[in-house]
Amino acid sequence: MKKFDIPIYYRSPVISVVKNARKITDPRKKDYTPSVLDFGPVKFLIARHFGFCYGVENAIEIAYRSLDENEGKRVFLLSEMIHNPNVNDDLRSRGVRFIREHNGKQLIPWTDLREDDVVIVPAFGTTIEIQEILKQHNIDPYLYDTTCPFVEKVWNRAEILGKKNYTIIVHGKFNHEETIATFSHSNLNSPTIIVRNIEETRVLCDIITGIIPGEKFYEIFEGKYSVGFDINKDLYKVGVVNQTTMLATETQAIADLIKNTMEEKYGNKKIREHYADTSDTLCYATYDNQQATIGLLKGNADLAIIVGGYNSSNTSHIVELCEAKLPAYFISGPDRIISENTISHFDIHSYKEKTSENWLIKNNSKPTEVILTSGASCPDAILDEVLQKIVSFFPEAKSIDDALEPFKIQNPN
């Protein structure tokens, strides 16, 4: 796989040693069991897959290269590069200005742009409409386009299906930048609808089979379907694609439910006329991170720490998996760990940060076991800082060098 040139301060002297050792012992990425970093009174269960993925590293490399190649020019980002505050804040500190917030709020009017400005497209991609706005200002939207290749894969698959007269069902969050971009590109070639989860999909399936009157579609899915969507003909042939950071298992469940519904209505022999298999659009990194999280949860850890941006979709799904089994704390960085008694963390249900007391479980009979992982947009260096802060609460803990020794033996370089 390609290696990217990203700033050295995003690398880590601790987590990277563990990752590199696993690359040697598990080069085919088949083993989802965690690595154990043993400090004596506290052990960290490190996920097999986590942190910067291919798409994120690609985006960061392009963004920093754009700064190097355009000294003296104004450099803009359409919105957040990725959903990580550390990366976005560093780009801001280097003079990059954000045209919009991640929720679509306009910060800089399009009319302020000049022909010699540089505009970076974020990893989520952007809409056809925004690409046209940039072209109207004589700004090339593809010059520094950091759109993730796996997002583009979804767009390409939707285009192929659209040209075969399939309607596209997008599994995603309708207000997320990636889903908005996918909707825009899909809509070029086919009618498109967004479903958030399996519950919304059941409603859609009930409309397809006639259990729910068709006219209810426009009320229930308001704001989530393309202009001119006609339920009398646009639900005859369908295919499912997804926002790449959604739970892979849920996307598959949604696809299976829709396929079964089409079989129920049209019969198994005609299923290929009405349903397109699109399982090949699932992002490998999202899938691997989620499977690695499931691997983490097979043990008996005391708690989980998940690090990432609070508006990161893929990170929130890792939190969702963890909190179903044990106390899970979603933090943006080490500063959210106030003390060994107090932690400030994000609640994915209320979308608010809250404070918890007595979060760090200390056992007299056995070491405290902490799951440590992150989303695809979190630098490993941030995990290093989180790990070291937790270790500081255990005065008898081994040094980092001693804890890393087994991994250095596996990876002598």
- Amino acid 103: pLDDT: 79
Last residue of a domain, one of 136, 163, 185: 136
Which residue of the set 178, 200, 320, 369 is catalytic?
Answer: 178
What is the domain-level CATH number for residue 118? 3.40.50.11270
**pLDDT tens, position by position, 211-269:** 999 999 999 999 999 999 999 999 999 999 999 888 888 988 999 999 999 999 999 99
**pLDDT higher than threshold 80 for residue 281:** no
Residue 391: inside a domain:
yes
Residue 145: inside a domain:
no
- Which residue carries 């801001």 as its tokens? 92
* Residues 292, 391 within the same domain: yes
Between CA 82 and CA 152 the distance in angstroms is: 16
* Residues 367, 297 within the same domain: yes
Between CA 307 and CA 51 the distance in angstroms is: 9
Between CA 120 and CA 146 the distance in angstroms is: 7
Residue 146: inside a domain:
no
**pLDDT tens, position by position, 61-70:** 999 999 999 9
- Which residue carries 């694609």 as its tokens? 241
Residue 143: inside a domain:
no
Enumerate residues 6+ apart whose C-beta is below 8 A from 331. Answer: 305, 306, 307, 337, 343, 344, 345, 346, 386
Describe the strand order of the beta sheet including 42-46 as a list of residue ranges: 35-38, 42-46, 368-374, 303-307, 328-331
Task: Say what the pTM is.
Answer: 0.86
What sign results for the dihedral spanned by CA atoms 1, 317, 254, 236? negative
Return the percentage of the chain with pLDDT > 90, whole number: 79
**What backbone torsions phi and psi does residue 57 show, to the nearest 5 degrees?**
-65, -40
Tell me what the mean pLDDT of segment 147-154 comes to.
93
Q: Is 178 a catalytic residue?
A: yes
Residue 2: inside a domain:
no
Domain ranges, residue 354: 8-53+285-410
Q: Out of 23-27, 69-73, 128-132, 352-356, which region has the weakest mean confidence (pLDDT)? A: 23-27
CB count in 10 Å sphere of residue 395: 7
**pLDDT higher than threshold 60 for residue 411:** no
**pLDDT higher than threshold 60 for residue 309:** yes
Residue 270: inside a domain:
yes
Last residue of a domain, one of 282, 316, 338: 282
Q: What is the CA radius of gyration of the chain?
A: 23
Number of domains in the chain: 3
Last residue of a domain, one of 84, 104, 136: 136
